[in-house]
Each structure stands twice: as C-alpha cells, then as structure tokens.
Amino acid sequence: MRYQGGCHCGKVRFSVEVDLSSPITCNCSYCAKRGSILAFTPAENFALASGAHDLSEYRFNSRTIEHLFCSGCGMESFARGTKPDGTGMVAVNVRCLDGVDLDALRPHQVDGRSR
C-alpha cells in the first residue's frame, strides 16, 4: 500500500509503498531507546518529496545503516541501507506514516541486542 509520511515539523515529507503486515521492533541499544516501529521496503518504493537539505545523518556500530534525522525537529522518519545481497532498502518508521492505526499493528520483536 502507498502511504505519505514525514517528520514532526513537516520539513521532511515522503511517499512510500510498504507492506505493514509484519513490522518489527528491535531491542538493540539504538532501537530500544528510540522506540520506533519499522517496516522495510526496496529503495525504489520510496520517494523523498521534500527536506533533503534538512536531513542529518547518524551511523553507529557497523556504520552500514544511514539513519537520517530532520535537523529541525530531530525526528528519524526513515533510514537507508542495503540488504545482504547489496540491493538498496529503506526502513520506514511506521509511527511517521500519516493515518496508520498503530493499535492494529502486531510488530514482531527482533533480537538486535544479540547480533
């Protein structure tokens, strides 16, 4: 399904085609503090509509995921990375999608702490 989304202040806006039937939460040191619900989609299903110049980047651990934050409000509404086969993917913070009923989701817990 196609969704619109963005950061808290509205500077960063995007559209994305993503399946919300199996989102995840993660218990790694970063995700546990951030508390987002993530859904993954191929990079070609994601289009940044505005705010490219307002994004700041953070990388940690293996430095393979490009965590992108709005420099205005600090919200990370998505991150970019690659799958093990090298194809591009986007991890979307489902909490930043417009009109999604979060109570209807059943996120699967991923044990990122043990990786």
Could you tell me the CATH number of the domain that includes residue 91?
Answer: 2.170.150.70
At residue 4, the pLDDT reads: 98
**Residue 84 predicted with pLDDT over 90:** no
What is the per-residue pLDDT across 38-80, written as a single tens digit (0 to 9) for each? 999 999 999 999 999 999 998 877 777 899 999 999 999 999 9
Summarize the confidence of residues 4-15 as an average pLDDT: 98
**Domain range holding 20?**
2-114
98 or 29, higher pLDDT: 98
Work out the average pLDDT over 14-33: 92
- Mean pLDDT on 83-103: 95
Please tell me the total count of domains within the chain.
1
CA distances from 42 to 92, 105, 115 (A): 11, 21, 23
Taking the C-alpha atoms of residue 30 and residue 34, their distance in angstroms, rounded to an integer, is: 6
Quick one: CA dihedral 51, 28, 65, 23, positive or negative? negative
Percentage with pLDDT > 90 across the chain: 77
- Write down the mean pLDDT value for the chain: 93
Residue 113 has a pLDDT of: 84
Average pLDDT over residues 81-95: 94
